[in-house]
Amino acid sequence: MLSDWLFIGLFLLIVALFPGAPILLAKFLGPRRANPLKNEVYECGMEPVGEAWVQFRAQYYIFALTFLVFDVELVFLFPWAVAFDTMPLIGVLSGVLFIVILFAELLAAWRKGVLEWV
């Protein structure tokens, strides 16, 4: 039993070291040449005109998140659609239930006005 926990602890140590080591190496071994040009705001190769901070309405973010949620769920539906004809009935019914839940979420978002671009 202790060997299982030792394996998990070793795995967590490797998980922490794998991304942490390159970050620390870059911090300590990387060049540090600060100049005013590096501190300027960069916008697609153009010099910014006016204030750099622009406020966007939260509605745009909610719209984007709703699109992202439905896009990711389509990734889950694609393998189901490919194997549709070889699935047992429970697989087909679970996929249909998933689609019904998606449709209910879409109706709820529509009723809340999330999908209106104002």
Residue 46 pairs in a beta bridge with 43
- pLDDT tens-digit map of 84-115: 889 999 999 999 999 999 899 889 988 988 77
Helix (H) or strand (E) holding 68: helix 58-82
Contacts of 62 (CB under 8 A, 6+ apart): 114
Residue 21, token pair as written in the block = 């080591």
pTM for this prediction: 0.49
Give domain 2-112's CATH architecture. Answer: Up-down Bundle (1.20)
| 47 burial via Cβ count (<10 Å: 0-12, 13-18, 19+) | exposed
pLDDT value at 20 more than 90: yes
pLDDT value at 69 more than 90: no
Q: Which of 61, 54, 55, 60 is nearest to 118 (CA)?
A: 60
The full set of domain ranges for the chain reads 2-112
